[in-house]
Amino acid sequence: MKKELQIKKLLEQIGRPYEMFNDDGTYQGCFYPLQFLYPELPKYNLPENENQFEFGMQKIKEHCKPVHPANLETGDIIALNFKGVLHIAIYFEYGKIIHVFKNHTLEIGRLKMFKNFQSFRVI
C-alpha cells in the first residue's frame, strides 16, 4: 500500500525538470524516481574515472533482486545501458515506466521503447 501511495505522489511530479544532483551533492539525474520511491536506499556520487554503468549496476544489485520482465510489478526498477550510461526507470503499469532523461522532465514512457533492459525489485 505504501508503494502505491508513493507512486501516486511521484506521478504528481510529472513534468518536474531534470536535476543532475541532490541538495547534498550526491548524484540524482535519472535516479530521481528511484530515490523518490525508495528514500531508504543509499545515494552515491558517481565516479568520474570508472565505468558508471558498471558502478551503478553493482549498487543496484546490492539492494535488489532480479525480476523476470514477465513478472514486473509497479515500483520495480528498470535498468539499461543507454549509450554507455546507466539509465534507470520505475515500472508503472501496463507496460508504462516513469523516468527522466538528461535535459528533459519526469515523464511517463513506454517500456517497449527499450530493447535490452534488466529488471529488479528492491529487497
Every domain of the chain and the residues it spans: 2-122
Residue 107's pLDDT band, with cuts at 50, 70 and 90, is very high
Residue given cell 521503447 in the structure block:
113
β partners of residue 27: 21
- Please determine, for residue 1, whether its predicted confidence score (pLDDT) is greater than 80: no
Q: Region 106-117: what's the mean pLDDT?
A: 92
Distance CA 78, CA 94 (A): 14
- Please determine, for residue 47, whether its predicted confidence score (pLDDT) is greater than 80: no
Q: How many Cα atoms occupy the beta-carbon half-sphere of 23 within 13 Å?
A: 0
Domain 2-122 has CATH 3.90.1720.10: yes
Distance CA 42, CA 59 (A): 9
Mean pLDDT in the chain? Answer: 91
Distance CA 88, CA 108 (A): 13
pTM of the model: 0.90
Grid cell at residue 28: 540524482
